[in-house]
Structure 1
Amino acid sequence: MRPLRLVETTPGNYSLLLDAGTTTVDEVIEELGHEPNGYFWEGVAQLLVSTEAPDLAARFDYDPEGGMFCAYGTDRPALEELAARMAAVATDADRVRQLVATAAANGFEFDD
């Protein structure tokens, strides 16, 4: 799950967090013309859900900031699955390149 972390904020409520600017792929993201901030990572999450895991749609919400990505909700298994998918991107430069290319091909724009 690294560099993401899943925390129980109150009983039964969970937040999936990623401190923006702390991943090993930040330089690649910048090379691709994006800012590795929380809004970029929200775009990554949305793209992963829409293209690879549509069953996760509507099972959590997003609340990113410039310095942090956050997805939250009561469905811990859904957040755990999102964490696994996002960790695969946040630790693999080739995966980032592939995902950004997929976004461009589909007309998806990152809000970074």
Structure 2
Amino acid sequence: MEQTAFKEAIKPFFWSEHDATASLCLEVGSYRTDLFATRADEGFEGTGYDWASLADVFLAEQPAAMQQAIRFDPEGSMFCAYSADKPALQRFALDFKAACDDEERAQALFARAELD
């Protein structure tokens, strides 16, 4: 996929290239706040840590090679996934965004997320 089309497809996530790695990030509060609100009584606020919990459930369903390649480094205000395997991170970005856009799938994944 052409880089401009890829970056458009993953919005509001954004892609950042580094020398040996790449990152997929999201400023919290800009996307799917409704999803996290469904479990606010349990302490979910939609922080970067909450996003990492959701992404972790998603990643657990992916092939072992992708699981080994992707790492998370969230902060309170930002979700961040990174990898030295840029193609694996691109695949994760597209698939995770599609899962988050799919209401039924997002709810099913989030139901299994654990508060960090």
Question: Does the TM-score normalized on the shorter chain lie above 0.5?
Answer: yes
How many residue pairs match? The answer is: 104
Matching residue within 12, 26, 47 for 2:20:
12
What pairs up with 1:38-53 in 2 under 5 angstroms?
A: 38-53=48-63
1:30 alignment counterpart: 37
Alpha carbon RMSD of aligned pairs, Å? 1.8
Relative to total residues, which structure has the larger helix share, 1 or 2? Answer: 2
Contact map agreement 1:20 1:38 (CA 8 A) in 2: yes
Matching residue within 61, 67, 78 for 1:57:
67
Distance 1:110 1:88 in 2: 22
Distance 1:86 1:54 in 2: 16
- Higher relative contact order (Cα pairs below 8 Å, separated by 6+ residues): 1
Percent of paired sites with the same residue: 31
Distance 1:62 1:100 in 2: 17
Task: Report the secondary structure of 1:52's partner residue.
Answer: coil
What pairs up with 1:93-108 in 2 under 5 angstroms?
A: 93-101=103-111, 103=112
Normalised TM-score (structure 2): 0.77
Deviates more, 1:69-78 or 1:81-90: 81-90
Distance 2:64 2:54 in 1: 14
